[in-house]
Structure 1
Amino acid sequence: MTTRLNLLPWREMRRREQDRQLLTIAIGAWLLMGLIVAFAHFRMSDLIEAQNHRNDFLQKEIAKLDEQIKQIAQLKKKRADLIARMNVIQQLQTDRTRVVRIFDELVRRLPEGVHFSGLKRTGDNLALSGVAQSNARVSALMRNLATSDWFADPSLDVINVKQKGSDRVSEFSLKVKNLVKKASAPEAGT
């Protein structure tokens, strides 16, 4: 008699055991993959959030710098305006003393027997009109003006000899160029 062994239940049990192990491995793999994906998702979210915070910080700093650039531009404009005003004031100060110097120099160069009846300044040119006792006195005035440091190129426009009462007088009109005396720059500031 031969013994018969029935291996079918053992094979079936083994197959069930392998199926269960395969299912456990598959579930474990799926869980591990899910954890890896979740970790990657959270890590990427954290990285994106950190980068967004950095971007926000940079945007705020850029806005601050833009504001500072605007303020610097405004300050530069104010500085240029102030410099322009200072230049105008300095020019006015120089011109103020220049006018005084012109009149002072005219009085110093005026020979006896000559007086002015009019003076007109156009830029750096002066138009002088007046009355002299003789033509020689007008010539002396022109020589005096030519030797002055403040005037140059005197030119006679008109001279008319007229009789006023018992005296003969010469009415004259001349032009002279007004120079800025080289030594006047330091004097103008005082």
Structure 2
Amino acid sequence: MAHINLLPWRVERRKQREREFFMQLGAAFVAAVLVVLVWSLWMDARINTQNDRNTYLQGEIKQLDERIAKIKDLEKVRESLLARKQIIEQLQANRSQMVHLFDELVKTIPASARLNGLKQTGDSMSLDGVAQSNASVAEYMRNIETSPWMGHADLRKTENTHGDSRLPYSFGLDVALNRPKAEEDSGSADEAKMPPPPVAKTPAERAQIETMVKALDAGSANSSKSPAERAKLGAMAKALEGAQTVPNPGAPAKSEVKPASATTAGGAK
């Protein structure tokens, strides 16, 4: 005999399918929540790692900034030391220049001219004085240009002041200073051997040295100059005062004056 199922099986199957659908939906939801949680944890880990890297890089950048600041300070100190070194080398190189210049001033100036003042600025020197005539000034300029320690001389002014009947012309010269090649090649060993101060041989030369000593004394007493410059001028004045009284054995007294006197006489004619 056949069995006949009279129960509502379609309703039961529909309910079973609904249960399976809701179970699958719940599993999918749980899986989605788990994926979102895992992704969130992974992104948080990456953000934390990047923050740690940023913190490390900021610390390294700060250290590099401090090192760069120290390097800049060291560069400034280095430039300052190099500047001092150059100044010291320049002073060392020009240590004997002033003595040679005063020696050349005594040798080059003719007897018919007299200096009233001089001023050195870097590699140039300004000379002011009086002369008997324009020919004496021209002779003085020629003598200056033949000097190994002085170069080209520019005439700044010349005028007849009628103030002194013997030396009526007032003149001003701008002289470029030179350094002989032999002195440049000799180095510090030759510069250490400074020549003695110029020796006054004749009354005319003694008068010239006395005039230069007065000019140096006036410069050393000038309050506008620095103490170092005043001390330097005072030392030069003392050296010239010593040269004025030092005898000159073994050298004729007329050898330095004859050429200037002869030239002056020719110029006066």
Q: TM-score band, normalised by the shorter chain?
A: 0.5 to 0.7
Q: Which residue of 2 aligns with 1:121?
A: 119
C-alpha contact (below 8 Å) 2:149/2:180 kept by paired residues? no
Task: Report the counterpart of residue 39 of structure 1 in structure 2.
Answer: 38
For residues 71 and 150 of structure 1, what CA distance do their matches in structure 2 show? 46
- Count of residues paired in the alignment: 178
* AA aligned opposite 1:7: L
Q: Is the 8 A contact 2:115 2:127 kept in 1?
A: no
The structure with the largest alpha-carbon Rg is 1
Deviates more, 1:79-88 or 1:137-146: 137-146
1:97 matches 2:96: yes
Q: Could you tell me how far 1:42 is from its partner in structure 2?
A: 0.6
SS at match of 2:96: helix
Shift of 1:38: 0.5
Identity %: 30
The change in CA–CA distance for 1:176 and 1:49 in structure 2 (over 3 A counts) is closer
| Residue 47 of structure 2 is aligned to residue 51 of structure 1 | no
- Distance across 1 between alignment mates of 2:34 and 2:16: 26
Query: Following the alignment from structure 1 to structure 2, what is the Cα–Cα distance between the partners of residues 103 and 187?
Result: 21
- Counterpart of 2:144 in structure 1 is 145
Cα distance in 1, alignment partners of residues 187 and 96 from structure 2: 6
Distance 1:41 1:101, change over 3 A: same
Distance 1:139 1:26, change over 3 A: closer
Distance in 2 separating the partners of 1:143 and 1:18: 129
Counterpart Cα distance in 1 of 2:76 and 2:57? 28
TM-score where L is the length of structure 2? 0.50
Aligned to 1:66: 65
Question: 152-161 or 90-99, which moves further after superposition?
Answer: 152-161
Return the letter of the residue paired with 2:51.
Answer: N
Residue 49 of structure 1 and its aligned partner are, at CA, apart by 1.2
Show structure 1 runs of 5+ residues with no match. 132-136, 163-169
Report Cα offsets for 1:60-104 as digits up to 9, x if no partner. 222222223322322222222222222332333334322122123
Q: Work out whether 1:84 is the aligned partner of 2:95.
A: no
1:96 alignment partner, SS class: coil
Report the alpha carbon displacement of residue 108 of structure 1 after superposing the two structures with TM. 5.1
CA distance in 2: counterparts of 1:32 and 1:2, whole angstroms: 47
Give the structure 1 partner of residue 7 of structure 2: 7
My pick for the range that moved more, 141-150 or 96-105, is: 141-150
Provide Cα deviations, 1:23-79, integer angstroms capped at 9, x if missing partner.
221221111111101111011111111111222222222222222332232222222
CA RMSD in angstroms, aligned pairs only: 4.0
Measured in 1, the distance between the counterparts of 2:88 and 2:179 equals: 20
Q: Tell me the secondary structure at the aligned position of residue 148 of structure 1.
A: coil
Q: Deviation per CA, 1:100-152, whole angstroms, max 9, x where unpaired?
A: 221233355578x8997755223212426599xxxxx9998665434212224
Alpha-carbon spacing, 1:30–1:107, altered in 2? closer, same or farther (3 Å):
same
AA aligned to 1:6 is L
Q: Distance in 2 between matches of 1:19 and 1:48?
A: 43
1:127 counterpart SS class? strand
Measured in 2, the distance between the counterparts of 1:58 and 1:68 equals: 15
Q: Name the SS of the counterpart of 1:82 in structure 2.
A: helix
Cα distance in 2 between the residues matched to 1:3 and 1:178 = 141
Structure 2's unaligned 5+ residue stretches are 192-269
CA distance in 2, matches of 1:186, 1:171: 43
